[in-house]
Structure 1
Amino acid sequence: MTVRLTDLAAADLAEARNHYRAIADDLDQRFLDRLDLTIARLLAFPQGAPPVDGFPGVRRARMRQFPYGVFYRLDGNDILILRVLHTRRDPSALR
C-alpha cells in the first residue's frame, strides 16, 4: 500500500509548515513528524478513521498534538490524501 497526496494536500502542507516555522524553528518539523505518525496509523488501519458526512468514501484522521485533519480515501491499494486541513476550516473545502 502506498500513500499519495493531491496537489491541494501538498499545498495545505506547505501552508501549515510555513505557519509553524514562523512560530518556532523546529515546530514545522514536529508537525511533519506527527503527520508521519498519522500516515503510519493509516497504513496499519486504512479504514480506522471515521467517514466524513456528505463525502462518500472520504475519511478523516486527526493528527495528535496539532489541530489538523487528514482527509483521505482508499484508491485501490493506495491511500490518497485529499487535504490536510486545520480543524477550524470548513470541510466543504474538500469539494
Structure 2
Amino acid sequence: MDVTIRRAVENPLQLPEIEPGIRRALVRVHPHGVFFLLEEPLVLVIAVINLHHHADAWKARL
C-alpha cells in the first residue's frame, strides 16, 4: 500500500483520471484502489476501497 500511495504522490498525473479531477492508483497485490484528487501542492486521498466489493463507494466520500 505504501508503494501505491508514494507513486500517487510522486507522479499523480501519470495515473488515470476516472472522473473529472479524481484519479485512481491500483494496489498491486490486493484488489484495492486508492482514489485521490490533486490540489497543488497536495495529493488528497479520498478513499482506499476493495474494488471487488465496493467499487463505487468512494463517490459517497466526496
TM-score, L = length of structure 1: 0.56
Compare CA radii of gyration and give the structure with the larger one. Answer: 1
Q: What letter corresponds to residue 71 of structure 1 in structure 2?
A: F
Whether 2:53 is the aligned partner of 1:91: answer no
Structure 1 residues 37 and 91: CA distance shift in structure 2, 3 A: same
Q: How many residues align?
A: 59
Shift of residue 90, structure 1, vs aligned partner: 3.1
More helix by share: 1
Indicate the residue corresponding to 2:46 in structure 1: 82
5+ unaligned residues in a row in structure 2: which ranges?
A: none
Structure 1 residues 48 and 66: CA distance shift in structure 2, 3 A: same
Whether 2:15 is the aligned partner of 1:49: answer yes
Q: What percentage of aligned pairs have identical amino acids?
A: 32
SS in 1 for 2:14: coil
Q: How does 1:8-19 map to 2 (within 5 A)?
A: none
5+ unaligned residues in a row in structure 1: which ranges?
A: 1-34
Indicate the residue corresponding to 2:36 in structure 1: 72
CA offsets, 1:13-51, max 9 Å, x none?
Answer: xxxxxxxxxxxxxxxxxxxxxx11011111221111111
More strand by share: 2
TM-score, L = length of structure 2: 0.82
**Larger relative contact order (CA 8 Å, sep ≥ 6):** 1
Q: How does 1:11-50 map to 2 (within 5 A)?
A: 35-50=1-16
Shift of residue 92, structure 1, vs aligned partner: 4.8
